[in-house]
Amino acid sequence: MNRIAEIHRTTKETDIRLTLNLDGSGAASLEYPIGFMKHMLNTFAKHGLFDITARASGDLDVDQHHLVEDTGIALGQCFAQALGDKRGVRRCGSCLFPMDETLARAAVDISGRAFLSFNAELSGLPLVSGAPPGAFSFQTDVVEDFWQGFATAAGITLHLDILRGRSDHHKIEALFKASARALRDAVEIDGRARDAIPSTKGILDQLEKPLMMV
C-alpha cells in the first residue's frame, strides 16, 4: 500500500509545498523559516515514523500566524489524502508523553469528524532565543492555530492536553511528540482487519464543516 501524499498550498500570505509518507522511517527534510516550528516538525516526523519534506515561505513581516496555521492545514490535507478511504487502519490512538517536568496527553480518532480540544496551559509569552542583534522569538499562541488547521483539514478528532508542566517549550514539544505517537498508532494497518473500514457505518467520510472547538 502506497500511502504518500503531496500538497502545494499557495495563498496571498503563504507558499507551502509538503510531502508525507505515512509508512516512513521518521526522516525529515525541511526548508522552514521559523526555527522552533522546524524543530517541532522534525520531532513530529521522528516520533510518528512519518517521512516529511517541506518547503515553506510566508509573510513573516506580519507575524507567524499565517505560515504556522497554513502549515497545519497542508499537513492535515496530506494526512487525509494519504489515508484515502481509511481502509484497514486502527483508527484510534493515544499517548501519554513525559518530558522532564511536563506530562502531555494526546488522543486521536480518524473519524471524518473534525474536532479539536486543546488545553495546553501555555503562558502566551514568546519563546526568545539568541542574543541581539540576532535574537528571534516564537509566538506560542499560534500552536493552537496549527493544530486547529491540522485537525480540520485531516478530518480527525484530536484531544491535546497538558496535565502538568512548567516550561512552554517542553509543553509544546511534548504535545507534538504525543500527537505523533497517537497518530502513528491510529494510521497503522490492523492485520486482523486489513480490508475493513473501521466503522459500523461502513464509511469514514469527512464532514464539510468542523464541529465546535472547546
Query: Residue 154 above 60 pLDDT?
Result: yes
- pLDDT of 129 reads 72
Q: Does 206 have pLDDT greater than 90? A: no
Cα 25 to chain centroid, rounded = 17
Q: Is the pLDDT of residue 177 over 60?
A: yes
CATH of 4-187, one of 3.40.50.740, 3.30.200.20, 3.30.365.10, 3.30.230.40: 3.30.230.40
Tens-place pLDDT, residues 10-24? 999 999 999 999 999
Strand 14-21, strand 4-10: pairing: antiparallel
Q: Say whether pLDDT at 149 is over 80.
A: yes
Instruction: State the pLDDT at residue 87.
Output: 86
Q: How distant is the alpha carbon of residue 159 from its chain centre?
A: 12
DSSP state of 70: H
* Per-residue cell: 25: 522511517
Q: Distance between CA 105 and CA 90 in Å, rounded?
A: 19
Break the chain into its structural domains and give their ranges: 4-187
**Are the C-beta atoms of 18 and 54 separated by less than 8 Å?**
yes
User: For residue 202, what are the contacts with CB-CB under 8 A and spacing of at least 6?
Assistant: none
Residue 113 has pLDDT above 50, yes or no: yes
Task: Say what the pLDDT of residue 211 is.
Answer: 44
Average model confidence (pLDDT) across the chain: 90
- What DSSP state is assigned to residue 210? P
- pLDDT band of residue 199 (cuts 50, 70, 90) is low
CA distance 157 to 159: 7
User: Quick one: which of 47, 168, 213, 186 has its CA closest to 107?
Assistant: 186
**In the structure grid, which three cell numbers stand for residue 26, read together?**
521518521
Hey, is 111 helix, strand or coil?
coil
Q: What is the pTM of this model?
A: 0.90
Record the cell numbers describing residue 81, joined without a space: 489524502
Of 188 and 86, more confident: 188
pLDDT digits (tens, 9 = 90+) for 49-67: 999 999 999 999 999 999 9
What are the two backbone dihedrals, phi and then psi, of residue 144, each rounded to the nearest 5 degrees?
-60, -40
124-135 per-position pLDDT tens digit: 999 987 656 555
User: Looking at residue 96, what is its pLDDT?
Assistant: 98
Amino acid code (one letter) for 118: F
